[in-house]
Structure 1
Amino acid sequence: MAQAGGVMNQPNDGKVYTKQWVVDFMLDLVGYGTNSLGDLSCMRIVEPSCGTGSFLYEIIRRLLANSSRRDYLSLKDAIRAYDIDQECVNHCKDTSRQILVDDFGVDAGTATALVSDWVVCGDFLLDHVEEDVDIVIGNPPYIRATDLDKDKRRAYVGAIESMSAGTDIYVGFFDRALDILKRGGKLCFICADRWLQNRYGKILRRKIVREGNLEILMRMHGVDAFAEEVDAYPAITLVGKDEQQERFKYVECDESFSEENIDMLQASLNSDEDGNGDAWHLASLRMPFDPVAPIPLGTKRTVCFVEQAQERLPSIEDAGISIGIGIATGCDGVFVADNPDVAEGSRMLPLFYMRDYRRKTGKHRWLVNPWDDKGNLVDLDEYPRMREYFESHRSRLENRSVVRKSRNQWYRTIDKINYSLLNKPMLLMPDIAQEPLPVYNEGRYPHHNCYWIASEQWDMCALGGVLLSRQTKDFIDCLGVKMRGRSLRFQAQYLRLLHIPGFDTLSKEIVAGLQEAFERLDRDAATKWTARMYEEAGICCVRM
């Protein structure tokens, strides 16, 4: 089992290693050692996070097998492999030296000199690295922003254009790799693909459109590509340092995709046609006109539907619909109560708790509300029961970051109450689900674990039919990040990407059909009537 450096959602710097067949496929993808690039001794290749080295070892084997030079010291600039872990660097040097001596007959002194140049202990994002290189390839670390050392994170944000305080570290590797490539060079990484569609990937998307060309994206969610199970959602991404083209090749792999599927896929990638295999499909997709917009991904027909709706119809907010998230309290153990009598009745708001709804617990919860309708904290002296309740939890409430700068607001929630939502009909969506699950709500205030949707223009049950439909799933699936088990995120930032007609353009028949489908929670009927809705608006709809 091959080992190549790279962290995939493991604690801090824990390593997860790429399997050998993936390493081979990626090197073939950039043409390194396939004869398409000719004599490799004239090229320079960089591995930015070499770990224990299988990208590096295979690079060495291919370099020596495809080099016309037998003055081995002349190859000292052909490879650079970086890692911040000295132990990994030492291991890579020892193994690389052994490969040179045992497999290629290089004398020990020359081998030692070569690996001393090739393998470097350093931080690829901060230290001086080789520039004007032909290829950057590997499996960069996947460390969440919250797991980065604060000083290190600050340094990365200062040095890397695409990184912010909330950016996971692999984004910086894309950015720096693009900087050091020569014109016509290739960047090929296997790592998380969230940057393509989430908020923190905006700057990187813009940079790649401005300075490079997304050629291939191969989504491998659930594929057995690593030496151990990972929580991240990886893709192989190939970017050229060329002018951005109108289209790129998108490969969607089933979880069963394996080494046995590579040859047929490679043949299809080398052609100009879309294709399908036993565990994959390939489609040529169009890059969005907006360089920072999420990139739609999916089957060509589904992406075409989404793009038509985006181009011809108003966004869901422009159609008169408001979207937001439920209240974050900062201390649910105090502010969310099972007993409605812990404070005065006027201070207790019935709360909608999505987890209770989905588990059908029948449980009721209340929010102990410290805010008045003007957005000010109430005077606790006017509510002695609430004062007594909060005082009994004072140390817990005071020990929250939200109140450390305003000690006199020690009993505040993170969010204020939006009084315009009280007793207003609305739809609520769970954060994570495999299908859209809109819930009608009136009279209960939404908790932070769900998103609310309200409108003065749309009928809520008709809108519920639209949101229940598979067309809504298609939108979120094409434009939103994926979770474990192919679950989707129905966050406000993705719901706002929906495009629908204005309510006043719908026929009475379609409105009635959508209403009935939602009231019966009939997804097939909701999909049928939503297809009719889009077709009347001139949008060719995939689902019926």
Structure 2
Amino acid sequence: MKIQVELATSELQNQSLLWGESSAEKGEVFTKPEIVDLMLIASGVVDELTSIGTRIIEPSCGQGEFIIAIAKRIKLNYEKANVKLTLVQLVNLIKAYDISSSNIDIAKSNVRAVLSSIYTSQELDLVLKAWFIHADFLLADFDEKFTHIVGNPPYIRIETIPTALLAEYRKRFVTMIERADIYIAFYEKCLDLLSNKGVLSFICTDRWTKNRYGAGLRSKIAKSFQLDLFVDLYGQNAFMSDVMTYPAITQISKNKQKQTCVLHNPNVTVDFCNNVRQCLTNVKVNTLDGAELIVRNDLVKDDKPWLFGSSDELEMLSRLEREFPTLEETGCSVYIGAATGSNKVYIVDKDLDIEASRKIPVITAKELKSGVIESNSNCIINTYDDNGVIELEQYPLLRDYFLQFEETLKGRHIAKMAPLHWFKTIDRVYPERATAQKLLIPDIKSELTVIFDKGSYHPNNSIYYVCADTWNLYALRAVLLSGIGQIFIQAYSTKISGGNLRFQAQHLRKIRLPVWDDIDSRIRTELTRIGRSEDTEEAKILVAQIYSMNEKEKQILGM
């Protein structure tokens, strides 16, 4: 059995290395030197570089930014303090993995160039062979622990990972739940490789800190680790190339839970890096030049999202969550518009010559850009009826239309999973939702946009929408636009490119509301009136009443 397992792992390693040599997207984004320095200093790598027990690993080294920076520190220690690591120390100091042999070669060459003035060519041959390993870190076995783990784990959409590898990753890493990207697996494995009091420092998207797919990882950290440092790099160019998501530095240690230092939008200088290290090693330090510093004792709790706002905002959210039900508990429902898998095929002009029963008026985010519904003549093709997927032969005009795009439609993942129904949309279209009154909420915006639809359109997948059994939708619109909706979304969502937020169902469902029947009839009438307009200031006054806000909470609302 052991031999079979080893063979299977070997085959997967080979598949991973083939993937590494391919031109497929592998989430390679290289970190800027000043950010690398911040992570190495804050995590203690720089301070403990010459300690005999120091063991460092970088699980996805790319072209070696972190290892090169460490090599430069080794050289600096020699030049300024005449401290030279023995060959044995040096050989045992670092492990660096990557699935790309070309990346490994570049990293080796650059490290050799840095250390060649201290060590001989033969010595460096031994060092580089020991340091750099051309293999899939996630599939590798280890019989040692590490004092420091640093790096920039790959950010790869699960759709681009070879199927067999993805299945193996999910089998091995229990925190890789739902649609978790591969960096979650890197976190899990690295945490398990930390020695007692060891430190992990990663720069990565911050989505997992709040999203559902990060719940397993957050729970693991809460049980056995300590979040030492969170650096919000919103607005910073932390990488050598542009990325769609804003990154953050998370520094996690194998210690008991204590306080967490939270830094927002830092000005990263050498002095700043050293000051951050001092903050982490001296609990009495509570101010920091170069960034807004918040010291928190309550950030990590079970699998709950990590909320990084001010203490006043969090106190307000906590009260609202204690005293009021969720949006859906008050009789509202949150949905996402239908994903088609090919909008160019499925979103068509209303005059397209197919069976009329298969066309439903549709709205996309493009028609909501101005904050109001811009009329359009588009429809979404409905490939479902009351019994499920339609019998295509019963709709000859639609069949002939789809056959024009047969190759495109059959190439979609959904079609490969259900080849008999190669023509169906990814999501089911519900005609009754098109005719229902609803509030339309575009997904990616800097501020919450809420638009009333009287029942004219079926939303496309770039739009979330809310229907209600009890709440008047105009009144609900007034409440959401008063600032309450924005406060909840900002707390639970993460920023992406352009400073935008994700107004997703999982975040919208966090919003707390009073029960409609518990609100004074006069206020209900006024909220309904205001919801037909854009008077957010008047809405704030009424919202402060229905949530029984104190003066501090009113200030947070913007009154």
Judged with a 3 Å threshold, the aligned counterparts in structure 2 of structure 1 residues 24 and 482 are, in CA distance, closer, same or farther, namely same
Q: Deviations over 1:122-177 (max 9, x none)?
A: 22111124621111011222222222233332332233232257332222211111
Return the letter of the residue paired with 1:295. W
By how many angstroms is 1:379 displaced?
A: 6.6
Residues 53-452 of structure 1 mapped to structure 2, 5 A cutoff: 53-63=64-74, 65=77, 71-102=86-117, 104=118, 106-129=119-142, 131-164=144-177, 166-245=179-258, 247-253=259-265, 262=273, 270-272=282-284, 275=287, 280-284=292-296, 286-287=298-299, 289=301, 291-340=302-351, 342-343=353-354, 348-359=359-370, 361-372=374-385, 374-376=386-388, 387-396=396-405, 399=410, 401-402=413-414, 409=421, 412-418=424-430, 420-421=432-433, 423-444=435-456, 445-452=458-465
Judged with a 3 Å threshold, the aligned counterparts in structure 2 of structure 1 residues 122 and 211 are, in CA distance, closer, same or farther, namely same
Return the letter of the residue paired with 1:309. L
Q: Distance in 2 between matches of 1:16 and 1:333?
A: 31
Judged with a 3 Å threshold, the aligned counterparts in structure 2 of structure 1 residues 451 and 95 are, in CA distance, closer, same or farther, namely closer
Q: Which residue of the partner structure matches residue 3 of structure 1?
A: none
Q: Distance in 1 between matches of 2:422 and 2:27?
A: 39
Q: Is the 8 A contact 1:350 1:443 kept in 2?
A: no
Judged with a 3 Å threshold, the aligned counterparts in structure 2 of structure 1 residues 11 and 338 are, in CA distance, closer, same or farther, namely same
Q: Is the 8 A contact 1:336 1:365 kept in 2?
A: yes
Judged with a 3 Å threshold, the aligned counterparts in structure 2 of structure 1 residues 60 and 371 are, in CA distance, closer, same or farther, namely closer
Return the letter of the residue paired with 2:328. E
Q: Distance in 2 between matches of 1:134 and 1:523?
A: 53
Aligned counterpart in structure 2 of residue 47 of structure 1, from 55, 58, 82: 58
Q: Is the 8 A contact 2:232 2:264 kept in 1?
A: yes
By how many angstroms is 1:536 displaced?
A: 5.5
Q: Distance in 1 between matches of 2:70 and 2:422?
A: 59
Judged with a 3 Å threshold, the aligned counterparts in structure 2 of structure 1 residues 107 and 219 are, in CA distance, closer, same or farther, namely same
Structure ranking higher in helix proportion: 2
By how many angstroms is 1:391 displaced?
A: 2.6
Aligned counterpart in structure 1 of residue 546 of structure 2, from 523, 533, 537: 533
Q: Is the 8 A contact 1:45 1:134 kept in 2?
A: yes
Q: Is the 8 A contact 1:451 1:491 kept in 2?
A: yes
Q: Distance in 1 between matches of 2:340 and 2:133?
A: 48
Judged with a 3 Å threshold, the aligned counterparts in structure 2 of structure 1 residues 129 and 221 are, in CA distance, closer, same or farther, namely farther
Q: Deviations over 1:422-443 (max 9, x none)?
A: 5332211111111111111122
Q: Which residue of the partner structure matches residue 4 of structure 1?
A: none
By how many angstroms is 1:51 displaced?
A: 2.2
Q: Is the 8 A contact 2:243 2:497 kept in 1?
A: no
SS at match of 2:139: coil
Q: Is the 8 A contact 2:95 2:133 kept in 1?
A: yes
By how many angstroms is 1:240 displaced?
A: 0.7
Identity %: 27
Q: Distance in 2 between matches of 1:90 and 1:18?
A: 18
SS at match of 1:458: coil
Return the letter of the residue paired with 2:464. Y
By how many angstroms is 1:472 displaced?
A: 1.2
By how many angstroms is 1:410 displaced?
A: 5.8
SS at match of 2:547: helix
Q: Is the 8 A contact 1:32 1:40 kept in 2?
A: no
Unaligned 5+ segments in structure 1 are 1-6
What is the CA RMSD across the aligned residues, in angstroms?
3.3
Q: Distance in 2 between matches of 1:387 and 1:538?
A: 65
By how many angstroms is 1:375 displaced?
A: 4.0
Q: Distance in 2 between matches of 1:94 and 1:371?
A: 58
Return the letter of the residue paired with 2:518. T
Aligned counterpart in structure 1 of residue 42 of structure 2, from 21, 29, 39: 29
By how many angstroms is 1:283 displaced?
A: 4.3
Q: Is the 8 A contact 2:275 2:288 kept in 1?
A: no
By how many angstroms is 1:198 displaced?
A: 1.7
Aligned length: 525
By how many angstroms is 1:315 displaced?
A: 1.4
By how many angstroms is 1:367 displaced?
A: 3.7
TM-score, structure 1 as length reference: 0.85
Q: Distance in 2 between matches of 1:121 and 1:310?
A: 49
Q: Distance in 1 between matches of 2:69 and 2:489?
A: 39
Judged with a 3 Å threshold, the aligned counterparts in structure 2 of structure 1 residues 335 and 109 are, in CA distance, closer, same or farther, namely closer
Q: Distance in 2 between matches of 1:416 and 1:441?
A: 20
